Amino acid sequence: MPKKKTATKRPLSSAKNRLEQLDKQYLWHPFTQMQDWEKEPQVIIESGKGSWLVDTRRKRYLDGISSLWVTVHGHRKKEIDQAVSRQLKKIAHSTLLGLSNVPAVLLAEKLVAIAPKGLSRVFYSDNGSTAVEVALKIAFQYWQQKGPEFQRKTGFLSLTEAYHGDTLGSVSVGGIALFHSLYRPLLFQARRIESPYCYRCKFGLTYPLCQTTCLMHAERTIQKFASVSAALVIEPLVQGAAGMLLQPPGFLKRIRDICTRNNILMIADEVATGFGRTGTMFACEQEKVVPDIMAVAKGITGGYLPLAATLTTEEIYLAFLGEHRDLRTFFHGHTYTGNPLACAAAAANIDLFRKEKTLQRLQPKIKLLAKGLAEMRKLAHVGEVRQKGFMVGIELVKSRLTKEPYVLDEKIGIRVVQECRKNGLIIRPLGNVIVLMPPLSTSPQELERMLDIVHAAIKRVTEKA
Residue 436 within any structural domain of the chain: yes
Q: Does 29 reside within a domain?
A: no
Residue 25 lies inside a defined structural domain of this protein: no
pLDDT digits (tens, 9 = 90+) for 42-100: 999 999 999 999 999 999 999 999 999 999 999 999 999 999 999 999 999 999 999 99
Please tell me the least confidently modeled range out of 11-25, 119-133, 163-177, 411-425: 11-25
Query: Same structural domain for residues 448 and 344?
Result: no
Query: How many structural domains comprise the chain?
Result: 2
What does pLDDT average to over the chain? 95
- Same domain for 443 and 335, yes or no, is no
Indicate whether 148 and 243 sit together in one domain. yes
- pTM of the predicted protein model: 0.95
pLDDT beyond 60 at 10: no
What is the domain range of residue 67?
A: 43-73+358-464
CATH number of residue 351's parent domain: 3.40.640.10
Q: Decide: 175 and 165 in contact? Cβ < 8 Å.
A: no
Q: Are residues 338 and 433 in the same domain?
A: no
262/129 same-domain check: yes
Domain C-terminal end among 306, 335, 355: 355
Regarding whether 370 and 283 lie in a shared domain, the answer is no
Residues 371 and 268 placed together within one structural domain of the fold: no
Same structural domain for residues 233 and 125? yes
Average pLDDT, stretch 136-150? Answer: 97
309 plus 245 within the same structural domain: yes
Q: Which of 302, 335, 355 is the last residue of a domain?
A: 355
Residues contacting residue 419 through CB under 8 Å, at least 6 positions apart: 456, 457, 460, 461
Residues 440, 441, 447, 450, CA torsion sign: negative
pLDDT above 90 covers what percent of the chain? Answer: 94
Q: Please report the pLDDT score of residue 153 as a whole number.
A: 98
Would you place residue 15 in the very low, low, confident or very high pLDDT band (cuts 50, 70, 90)? Answer: confident
Query: Is cis: bond before 208, omega within 30 of 0?
Result: yes
In a domain, residue 240? The reply is yes
Shared domain for 351 and 365, answered yes or no, is no
AA letter at 399: S
Residue 2 pLDDT > 70: no
pLDDT at residue 11, rounded to an integer = 52
Q: Which of 292, 320, 355 is the last residue of a domain?
A: 355
230 found inside a domain: yes
Q: How far does Cα 322 stand from its chain's mean position?
A: 35
